[in-house]
Amino acid sequence: MKVDLHLHTTASDGSLTPAQLIKRAADQDIRVIAITDHDSVEGIPEATLAAKNYKQLTVIPGVEISTDVPGNEIHVLGLFVDYANQQLQAELTRLRVSRQMRAENMTAKLNGLGLSIEYERVLQLADGASVGRPHIAKALLEKGYISDFREAFDKYIGRNGPAYAEREKMLPQEAVKLIAQTGGLPVLAHPADIENLEELLPLYKKNGLIGIETYYHGYSMKTIDWLSQLANNHGLITTGGSDYHNDNGDAGGPLGYTDIPSKSIEQLLLLARQKGHLK
């Protein structure tokens, strides 16, 4: 059974609308997907509506919250989130506003470096979605300042670049807690490169973490084995996903790429049933 539990749409920096993504997933015979946009649940209603046309497809409402630890960014997935929950929506709005302020700061820094892109254009490119660095890269690309996205990150807007700007932070354990408190199932996204992962897991688990994304696009068998072992040692379940953003492959992998064992899916669905998310 094809399953993909980490997908982006135009509600953040993905290129397909929620309805287009649903159709693509159904056409590829994927049976369970999760819509997990950056700091946004705004694509979920459209996805849920579109999914009514495809009875064989289960759509899990989700989110991917960006959080920060010193020198790094940790992403926390929420699966089966209650996307109408007001506390969740208010916190996500706060994070998105801080993203906009950061984009504005970075645009100003780029202007200071002699690269004249306009913040209005960056917002236009985000098209109502949570504005991120890919949209700034796009603005640089269309002005011919760079020849591809990677160059934008390497030269200007990567963490150590001259036009990088920080934004309001949320700690990983706070995101885990927010998701758990508002009824969702928190999972650590693409955790392989998190420093001191094993030492951090008990803290996250105490705040409600239920799983780690083990079958992630691009992970080697060795990494998958290591993460499975960690999950096992800490009483966490394993999930997986492609992190699909678009067909250019400049972020995430191809839609439906990962092979998540059916045992992992069963554990997730069992947990969701216990919490009343599924019948």
Which residues in this chain contact Zn ion in the complex, by CB under 5 A?
A: 64, 75, 189, 243
Residue (46 or 243) nearer to Zn ion, CB: 243
Residue (40 or 182) nearer to Zn ion, CB: 40
Q: Cβ of residue 73: shortest distance to Zn ion, in angstroms?
A: 8
Residue nearest to Zn ion (CB): 75
The alpha carbon of 190 is separated from its chain's Cα centroid by a whole number of angstroms, namely 9
Q: Cβ of residue 188: shortest distance to Zn ion, in angstroms?
A: 10
Contact 89, 65 (CB under 8 A): no
Classified as helix, coil or strand, 31 is strand
Helical segments of the chain, H only: 18-27, 44-51, 86-112, 119-126, 133-142, 149-152, 172-181, 197-206, 221-233, 262-274
Residue (85 or 130) nearer to Zn ion, CB: 130
Give CA–CA dist 203/76, Å, rounded. Answer: 14
Q: Cβ of residue 258: shortest distance to Zn ion, in angstroms?
A: 13
Q: Cβ of residue 278: shortest distance to Zn ion, in angstroms?
A: 23
Q: Cβ of residue 29: shortest distance to Zn ion, in angstroms?
A: 22
Residue (119 or 132) nearer to Zn ion, CB: 132
Give CA–CA dist 126/135, Å, rounded. Answer: 6
* CB-count burial class (<10 Å; 0-12, 13-18, 19+) for 104: middle
Q: Cβ of residue 46: shortest distance to Zn ion, in angstroms?
A: 18
Task: Name which of 109, 82, 64, 79 is nearest 269 in CA terms.
Answer: 79
Task: Name which of 1, 6, 41, 35 is nearest 20 in CA terms.
Answer: 35
Q: Cβ of residue 64: shortest distance to Zn ion, in angstroms?
A: 5
Q: Cβ of residue 134: shortest distance to Zn ion, in angstroms?
A: 12
Strands 30-35 and 2-7: parallel
Cβ neighbour number for residue 262 with a 10 Å cutoff: 10
Contact 7, 257 (CB under 8 A): no
Residue (5 or 88) nearer to Zn ion, CB: 5
Residue (75 or 102) nearer to Zn ion, CB: 75
Residue (117 or 187) nearer to Zn ion, CB: 187
SS (HEC) of 121-168: HHHHHHCCCCCCHHHHHHHHHHCCCCCCHHHHHHHHHCCCCCCCCCCC
Residue (157 or 189) nearer to Zn ion, CB: 189
